[in-house]
Amino acid sequence: MSFLELPTKSFFFASFLFRKDIVSVDSIKTMWEKKWGESFYFSHPFFPMKEYYSKEMGDPSLLQRLFGVCLDLQNREDFVKGKIWSTEKEIEMSRIEKLGVKSRTVNIDLGCLSLENMQLATGKPYSHRIYLGKGVYSDLTYVYQNKSYRPLLWTYPDYREEEIIKFFNSTRATLHKKILDLK
Q: Where do the structural domains in the chain lie, given as residue ranges?
A: 11-182
Alpha-carbon distances of 17 from 54, 64, 69, rounded to whole Å: 10, 6, 15
Q: What is the pLDDT of residue 146?
A: 98
- Taking the C-alpha atoms of residue 165 and residue 144, their distance in angstroms, rounded to an integer, is 11
- Taking the C-alpha atoms of residue 69 and residue 171, their distance in angstroms, rounded to an integer, is 8
Tell me: pLDDT of 99 over 60. Answer: no
Sign of the torsion formed by the C-alpha atoms of 43, 46, 48 and 50: positive
pTM score, whole prediction: 0.94
**Phi, psi angle pair for 51, to nearest 5°:** -60, -40
**Structure confidence by residue, pLDDT tens digits, 138-182:** 999 999 999 999 999 999 999 999 999 999 999 999 999 999 998
Q: How confident is the model at residue 101 (pLDDT cuts 50, 70, 90)?
A: low
- Taking the C-alpha atoms of residue 122 and residue 87, their distance in angstroms, rounded to an integer, is 10
